[in-house]
Structures are given as C-alpha cells and as structure tokens.
Amino acid sequence: MPPTMSQEQNGDPRPAGRIKILMVIFMVIFIAYGMKLFNMQILNGELYISQAQKIARRVTVIPAQRGEIYDRTFTQPLVLNTDSFAVSITPAEIAQEKIPDLIEQVAGILGVSRDVIDRKIPVQYYSLYQPVEIAVNVPFGAIAAIAERKDSLPGVSWQSKPLRTYVEPGSLSHVLGYVGNITQDELLNLFNNNYRMGDVVGKMGIERQYEELLRGKEGKETRTVDVRGRRVSGAGTTRDPPAMGKNLVLTIDRSIQTLVEKALGKRIGSAVVLRPTTGEILAMVSYPYYDPNIFNRSDMSAQYQMLLNDPNKPFLNRAIQSNYPPASTFKIVMTTGILAENAFPQDKVVECPGEITYGDRLWRCHIRRPGHGWLNLHQGMAQSCDIYYWVVGRDNLGVERIVSYARDYGFGETTNIDLPGEIAGFIPTPQWKERRFHERWQGGDTMNMSIGQGYTLVTPLQMANMVAMTVNNGLIYKPYLLKEVRDPITGEVENSAEPQILHESDISPSIFRAVRRDMRGVISEGTARFPVNIDAVEIAGKTGTGEVGLQNRWHSWFAAFAPYETNKPEERVVLSIIVEAVNNWEWWAPYASAIIFQGLFANQTYEEAIATLGVLYQPIQGRRE
C-alpha cells in the first residue's frame, strides 16, 4: 500500500535505508573490482602481460629440409630438395556456411578439382583450428593470386615447403622409397617424437629406414600480429632457423645400377649385385618399378590407386619381398652337404637314363633326353642332372641334413638388410609337413627338395648371400645399403658403416673350394658355357629353372660370382638374378648376367657390353638349363 501523506510528513525511514543498502552494495562491487584490478595489474601483472603477448604472437613453423641421398661416389645425387610452396586451409577461421564457396574459389586458383580439397577437408573437419595442407608443389603464380585475394580468403595460408625430388630414379625407386604426409596411425606412433599433422615422413625404402637421420629439425618464426592476423609494424620478430637432416651416401653404384636395370630390361624379376667381402649392395633392381616423384603432385591419389591395383605389383621389391623356389641353384647347397658329410663319394658315378620311377610316378630329368649317362658329383653339378641329386639326396644325404645345410647358408631367415619389409623365405621340414598337412614326409618330398623344388622358397638377396658364403669360405656379411652419414653443410663424414658378420659356418674351406670349382664347371663345360663363358672375366655360377604350376612355365635363375680366381678378393662381386615365369620364356637370366659381368669387368656401359657380346644379348626362345 503506498505511503500516506501523513507518513511522508512524519519522515518514514524506509527510503533512506534502501539508499544506504544500495550504496553498500555499490561499494562492495567497487572494492571487489578494485582488488581484482590490483591483482591483475600489480600482483600478477607479469603473468597477464606474458599471456597477452602470446595471444598477440603468431608462431609459424619453418619446415626443415630432409637430408639428401647420394650414390657411393658422393658425386651422383639420387634424392635432392627443390624450393616449392604448399597451401593450407584452417577451417575454424571460416564461417562454416562459407567454407564450400571458399573451397570452390581456392580450387579454381590452384587448378585442381574441388573433390581433391573436399576429401582433405571433410565436413567433420570444419571446426578444426589446425591448418590442413591441401596442395603441394604450388606454382608461384597461384601463390600470388591467393595473396591478392587475402582479405576475401580467410583461413587460407601458404608456406615454403621443400619438395623431395628423385633424380631419374628408375629401378632405384624400391631402394630409395618415397615420402608423404603423416597419417593418423603414424602420428599415434610418432607423436612423442615431435611429429604433427602435415609433417612429411618416409613411407618406404631408405626414406623410411633412416627417417630419423633424414628428417632434420624444424624451425620457428614468431611475430606479433593484430586481431586480423596482420603483422604489427615495429614489433619484433624472432626466428629459430631449421636444421637440415643428414646427407646419406649409399653403397649403390649408379652406373652399375643402370647397367643391371638395362640388362634385366622390362622383364618382371629382380637382380642383386653385392660385394661378398663386405656385404655392400652395389645394385638392387626390381621390375616393374614406379616413379616416386608422383607423390609430389596434388592429384597423386588416382595414380597411386592405379599402382596399387596393378597386378604386376610395382611397389613390391622383389629382391627382398618375393619368394621363389630356388630350382637348380639349390644344388650348390646339395653339393656342399654331400662333400661336407662325405655322404657319397664325389668320384662315384650315378647313371642318368633320362627318367626314373619312384613311388607311383615317373621322374624325368628335364635337362636332357634320353639322359646324361654316368656322372660323378662334378659332372652332375655342371650338367645340372636332376637324377644324380634325386638319388643321392634321397638315399644318401637325407632331408635332415639337407635342411641343416640350407639353414647354414641362411635360407629361412632374413638377412637383416637395412630396408623395411624383408621376408624370410621358407625351408620345410618333416615336422612342418605333418603339422601343416597332417601327412608324413615322403622320399618324393626329399627328391623335390634336392633340386630346389617343392616347398622351399628363397629371395634373390638370400641367393646372393648363398654365393657370398661360398666365396668367403663360410662367412656371410650382413648386406647393407648405407655407406656414410655426412654433415649437410660441410660434407664431413660423421659415421661410416663397417662390415658386420651375419653368419660364420664351421664347414672346412676345402669344401668351399671344391664347390667353387664345380660352379666354374657349370660355365666352362656345363649348362651355361654358351651364354656366360665370356672373355672379360672368368665366372663361376649355377643356372636354375624353377617350374611353376603345371602349365609348362619356368622361372629363370642365375647365381654367380667373378672373378673365379683372384689375388684381390675385394674385387669380387656376386650376382643373383631371376626372371619370373610370367615373362615370355627365353632363359634370359644367364644372358643378362653375361651383359652385367661384361660391363663390370670391361668397364663398359650396357650399350658397349652388348656391342661386344653380339648375339648373346638377344632373347633366345626355348632355351633351358
């Protein structure tokens, strides 16, 4: 009820009391704000100043250049860095309803399909405050166009990004590998190593194997900006420069790699050249190969998918990632076992009538009909007589000892080469067959194993190690590709690889001398005397024809070393080469080997070697070991 005239005249105290209460409230609020300001400006002033400066500063990451890669001479660059630009979009800096239109504009400037950007910035990324890289290797003209439209393209930025350039990689693609943006799965594993989204990492080959050495250390530039991100004039800028990654020098000899690549030609297969006294890989070729430079392109997804879908598997490094039956090259292992165990007198002969019966089937010596006649061990190796090794392997050496010597040569285990993805091959045993097939090991299984058929599987690099062990009297050095680590500025050698013993056999050196003599017989009087008996150097080796399926198709093998006799063991090289059965049959491995050894020891290019050898370089149809 409103106060009456008499109450107001009598001085009712309630309005005055209310005013006092309001004044107290205002005083409390004032004191509280004053204390807060005192706390912010006096007590914690430095803290808030620091936070304000951080808010006003923008930190830009300066990518580090990856280390470069060279061949063994340090004069042939294999991988270099070139200057380039990358464009990124920070979605959260853009009003979500405007992002589609902005993507359309940026796609037009960059000359790429909008779908390419949409795949990199899906709708669920629209609230992301982190820059998303949408294009690399962007030409300067496009960067200038974006800069001109900076005010109408919020959230769009660009930065210098060194481009990884592979110099005429050819068959070196499997050795070098390639780089790409880090994936979510990779980031989970590498986050503690200071990796971030948008970083580049090695995906395959040397790029992946030596990621830590090649990566380098990124730099940072800190500058003061206003609320619109514009640089404040007169404000200081601090710069922490990046450190380039280490330069790597490989054991690969570029000229030998090219020679081997051309000698194999466009035939699906692989070849390895190594130095047996150290384990250095001088050449490693796998065909088909791919161009790692495609990963520098913004539209690489379609080409990458084509490579993935190629039935010939161009990403597969067949030298270390494909299993093959060793075929008659396995007779090197058999000969070693026969001699070391004295399982069968080396001068005692076995008759080869061309075919024998065992069990319920007819076993034919596929080299010669009606047969080789009577042969001893040396002749059996030279002529690659299956019947000799069938009989001696089954009746005298036995599967357990065959398995033991195969493992002694390193079959069934990885070589620990410094490349990712190596597989171990496979050496079967009677116990394995019983577990796998619930069947007992039969004499026929031993016969198949004795000529490198059946379940036995090896890689071309393991085959090269087998020959290296024969050359080194039982010693195998771990194969390796990294020769030196060098400072990227001074070029000084910081670290050099030293040969490491992978395996040392206790077989007598005299046994290996006998095996080498029999391998020389393959060239001087046996199955390879026509294609490989060249003038440039004396070669010792073993041919192999690996039967595939039941369709009359064969792999073509050749495993060898040269020179056969030398006072300088360090000049010897080992060659392992396979041409897969999917190619037209031409028994090419021995002929390609002749070209390679001719080029190596006559110091000739591929073209000069085939000019010297003449008809030997021509594919010859229907020839077998």
Q: 394-411: per-residue pLDDT in tens?
A: 999 999 999 999 999 999
Determine which of 200-214, 222-236, 348-362, 492-506 has the lowest per-residue pLDDT on average: 222-236
As a whole number, mean pLDDT of residues 523-538 equals 93
- Residue 588 predicted with pLDDT over 50: yes
DSSP string, 35-70: HHHHIIIIISHHHHHHHHHHHHEEEEEEPPPPPPEE
- The pairing of strands 69-70 and 77-82 is antiparallel
Q: What is the distance, to the nearest Å, from the Cα of residue 129 to the centroid of all Cα atoms in its chain?
A: 34
Predicted confidence at residue 623, as pLDDT, reads 46
Predicted confidence at residue 548, as pLDDT, reads 81
Predicted confidence at residue 3, as pLDDT, reads 53
Q: Give the confidence band of 618 by pLDDT, cuts at 50, 70, 90.
A: low
Q: 532-546: per-residue pLDDT in tens?
A: 989 999 999 999 998
Is omega for the bond preceding 2 within 30 degrees of 0, making it cis? Answer: no
Q: Which residues partner with 326 through β-bridges?
A: none
- Residue 5 predicted with pLDDT over 70: no
Q: 360-388: per-residue pLDDT in tens?
A: 899 999 765 689 999 999 999 999 999 99
Say if residue 284 is exposed, middle or buried (CB neighbours under 10 Å; 0-12, 13-18, 19+).
buried
Predicted confidence at residue 24, as pLDDT, reads 78
State the Cα–Cα distance between residues 293 and 594, nearest whole angstrom. Answer: 32
Better-scored residue on pLDDT, 143 or 314: 314
Predicted confidence at residue 58, as pLDDT, reads 65
DSSP string, 121-159: S-GGGTT--S-EEEESS--HHHHHHHHHTGGGSTTEEEE
Predicted confidence at residue 472, as pLDDT, reads 98
- Residue 624 predicted with pLDDT over 50: no
Q: Which residue in 265, 258, 269, 266 sits closest to 318, CA to CA?
A: 269
Predicted confidence at residue 619, as pLDDT, reads 57
Q: Which residue in 200, 297, 276, 292 sits closest to 502, CA to CA?
A: 276
- How far is CA 157 from each of CA 130, 147, 340, 557, rounded to the nearest angstrom? 12, 9, 71, 55
- How far is CA 491 from each of CA 101, 218, 249, 266, rounded to the nearest angstrom? 49, 20, 11, 37
Cβ–Cβ under 8 Å, residues 625 and 527: yes
Better-scored residue on pLDDT, 506 or 53: 506
State the Cα–Cα distance between residues 539 and 431, nearest whole angstrom. Answer: 39
- Residue 40 predicted with pLDDT over 90: no
Cβ–Cβ under 8 Å, residues 91 and 270: no
Q: Tokens 């001088």: give the residue.
A: 282
Query: What spatial distance separates the first Cα and last Cα of the chain, rounded to whole Å?
Result: 123
Predicted confidence at residue 37, as pLDDT, reads 73
Backbone angles phi and psi of 337, in degrees to 5: -65, -40
DSSP string, 271-300: EEEEETTTTEEEEEEEES---GGGGGSTTH
State the Cα–Cα distance between residues 320 and 285, nearest whole angstrom. Answer: 10
As a whole number, mean pLDDT of residues 112-120 equals 85
Cβ–Cβ under 8 Å, residues 407 and 458: no
DSSP string, 602-624: TT--HHHHHHHHGGGGS--TT--
Predicted confidence at residue 612, as pLDDT, reads 94
- Amino acid letter, residue 1: M
Q: What is the distance, to the nearest Å, from the Cα of residue 439 to the centroid of all Cα atoms in its chain?
A: 39
Predicted confidence at residue 621, as pLDDT, reads 47
Q: Which residues partner with 527 through β-bridges?
A: none
- Helix (DSSP H) and strand (DSSP E) numbers for the chain: 24, 25
Structural tokens at position 186: 């990779």
DSSP string, 83-129: --EEEEE-GGGS-GGGHHHHHHHHHHHHT--HHHHHHHS-GGGTT--
Q: 411-448: per-residue pLDDT in tens?
A: 999 999 999 999 999 999 999 999 999 999 999 999 99
Q: 123-181: per-residue pLDDT in tens?
A: 888 887 778 888 888 888 888 888 888 888 888 988 877 789 999 999 999 999 999 88
State the Cα–Cα distance between residues 174 and 177, nearest whole angstrom. Answer: 5
Q: Tokens 């890289």: give the residue.
A: 133
Better-scored residue on pLDDT, 151 or 329: 329
Better-scored residue on pLDDT, 367 or 599: 599
Q: What are the residue boundaries of the structural domains of the chain, listed by start?
A: 5-43, 57-250, 254-294+316-617
- Residue 34 predicted with pLDDT over 70: yes
- Residue 228 predicted with pLDDT over 70: no
- Greatest mean pLDDT among 138-152, 248-262, 521-535: 248-262
Pick the CATH number of 57-250 from 3.30.70.1430, 1.50.10.10, 3.90.1310.10, 3.40.50.970: 3.90.1310.10
Better-scored residue on pLDDT, 613 or 229: 613
Q: Tell me the helix, strand and coil percentages in the chain, rounded to 5.
A: 40, 20, 35
Better-scored residue on pLDDT, 14 or 477: 477
Determine which of 46-50, 204-208, 265-269 has the lowest per-residue pLDDT on average: 46-50
Same fold, 57-250 and 254-294+316-617: no
**Element of type H or E holding 547:** strand 540-548
Q: Give the confidence band of 616 by pLDDT, cuts at 50, 70, 90.
A: low
- How far is CA 462 from each of CA 248, 264, 407, rounded to the nearest angstrom? 25, 19, 11
Predicted confidence at residue 230, as pLDDT, reads 52
Q: Strands, DSSP E only, in 327-462?
A: 350-352, 355-358, 361-364, 373-375
Predicted confidence at residue 384, as pLDDT, reads 95
Average pLDDT, the chain: 89
Count of CB atoms within 10 A of residue 26's CB?
10
Q: Give the confidence band of 61 by pLDDT, cuts at 50, 70, 90.
A: confident
**Who contacts 33 (Cβ-Cβ below 8 Å, separation ≥6)?**
none
Count of CB atoms within 10 A of residue 311's CB?
5
Q: 457-468: per-residue pLDDT in tens?
A: 999 999 999 999
Q: Give the confidence band of 55 by pLDDT, cuts at 50, 70, 90.
A: low
Which CATH superfamily, name and number, covers 254-294+316-617? DD-peptidase/beta-lactamase superfamily (3.40.710.10)
- Residue 89 predicted with pLDDT over 70: yes
